Each structure stands twice: as structure tokens, then as C-alpha cells.
Structure 1
Amino acid sequence: MKNTTLQMPEELPAGLVVFSADGRAQFGWQNPETGEFFAEVDGACITNAVGAVAWASDRMH
């Protein structure tokens, strides 16, 4: 019998899903000093952000 083990995916850090005034949603982070939101994909400031919700890859919301 073959010995198999389950491989757990790498744990990703918690982040935010940021919502923009134009209806888009993207992964991002918030600067704690300024309150501005930045996109994970390119680090650009999300100037039209209207809100965000916490997201963690290893949790169900």
C-alpha cells in the first residue's frame, strides 16, 4: 500500500478586499498612518476606495 500524505497549501497572510466607487473589488492593504488603501497587484494607491473587508485565505467568512 502506498503511503500518501495530504499536503496543506501554503498559508497566505491576511489582507483586505478593497471596494472602489466604480464597482471594482481588489486585494489590497491599508496604510495605518494615513488610512489610504493600496493595491496588492502593483502597490498603487486606490484613490476611489469606498470600503474594505478583511480576508484570510485559511478562514471561511
Structure 2
Amino acid sequence: MEIGVRPELCEANGVCAGLAPEVFELDEDERLHVHRPVPAERVERVTKAVQLCPKGALYFVEGPDELGS
């Protein structure tokens, strides 16, 4: 499972980092970093984070050309 982020939509609300801190990390400048690939044991929490992102900044990557930062 791969997750992408649309940085222009991300407002650093931290919902994702709260649900799966091993995968999502906000740096000191409030930029979101996604640690890839998503470990199998975190898929459920990461899926929930994508669904609950208040700005819709997270998405599931279908292919390698879709991967953002």
C-alpha cells in the first residue's frame, strides 16, 4: 500500500499523525512526511487516516506516477 499527500491541501491538522505516527510525521515547519511503504500491520490505521483527513490531502496511490511528496 502506498499513500500520497497533496501538500497544497494539507493544513497540518495532525489527524493522520495521531492515528499512525509510524507512517505520518509533521516536521517543525508543519510539513507532512509519509514514511513508505506502509507496514502491513498499519494498513487499517492508515486507511482510517486517509478517510478522516479533514482536507482530503491524503490519497491511495494507484501507480508509481501518482506518488507525491
* TM-score interval, smaller chain: under 0.3
TM-score by length of 1: 0.27
RCO higher in structure (CA 8 A, sep ≥6): 2
| Higher radius of gyration, 1 or 2 | 1
Structure with the larger strand share: 1
TM-score by length of 2: 0.25
